[in-house]
Amino acid sequence: MIALFTDFGLEGPYTGQVKAVLAPGVPVVDLFADAPEKRPKPSAYLLAAYAPWFPAGSIILAVVDPGVGSEREATILEADSRWYVGPENGLFELVRRRAVLSRSWTIAPEEPPFGRLSASFHGRDLFAPAAARLARGEFPRAAARPAEIGRRLDWPDDLPEIVYIDRFGNAMTGLRASLLPSAARLRAGGRVLSRAQTFSEVQSGDAFWYENANGLAEIAVNAGRADAMLGLEIGSAVSVLS
């Protein structure tokens, strides 16, 4: 299958145009169409948390690409038997770092499906065709690249910031909950939050944090919106208190 992880949104033509290029008959899963807009860093932590749920052999077409048309390179990454296609701008840093085995290639531009490689839509003209070829069992024109190229080694292993806010107002952090002390509290939006296992453990209107279904520490309000109550947005700082 091919999983789409983009900041394109569902409004307008962009997601639909990308899907039109993908291999006929291959299942396409809309994972995120609202990844942090033009922000590869928080997107990288989100991608690393969600991609492992896809089976071996899956292709994750990931495009958060504010540098489209610049000198940044186009990449295919194989990490723990999954394939990732997208820009080399740090988006795959955490996937690569947490993988047991990984290798990567630089994609060579080929004849795009619509006759030319646009300067502004490599998701459709470069990355989607490469993902489609992988889905057909082919390998795009690409050159192996040294492992250190494109790395963001200064990025932390876990990011103490808000990386995503869902439609319910819950705020995901870039912190893996399993690595936090069981009694840890989080400071965010000027509040200190205790941990709960479920929403029903706290009173209606109370803010707390919990381990979400994909292993990230997530801030929520029972019967409310954490983003509104705490003034949270993508990039808001989160501190871990013992």
Rounded Cα–Cα distance for residues 73 and 171 (Å): 31
Residue 153 lies in a domain: no
Q: 122 and 94 in one domain?
A: yes
| CATH code of the domain containing 189 | 2.40.30.90
Kindly give the confidence (pLDDT) of every residue in the chain, 242 residues in length, as a single tens digit, with 9 standing for 90 and above.
999 999 999 999 999 999 999 988 999 999 999 999 999 999 999 999 999 999 999 999 999 999 998 988 899 999 999 999 999 999 999 999 999 999 999 998 776 666 678 989 999 999 999 999 999 999 988 888 776 777 899 999 999 999 999 999 999 999 999 999 989 999 999 999 999 999 999 999 999 999 999 999 999 999 999 999 999 999 999 999 98
Single out the residue of 106, 65, 69, 70 nearest to residue 89, CA to CA. 65
Q: 191 and 134 in one domain?
A: no
Which range of residues forms the domain containing residue 230?
A: 159-241
Q: 113 and 140 in one domain?
A: yes
In total, how many domains does the chain have? 2
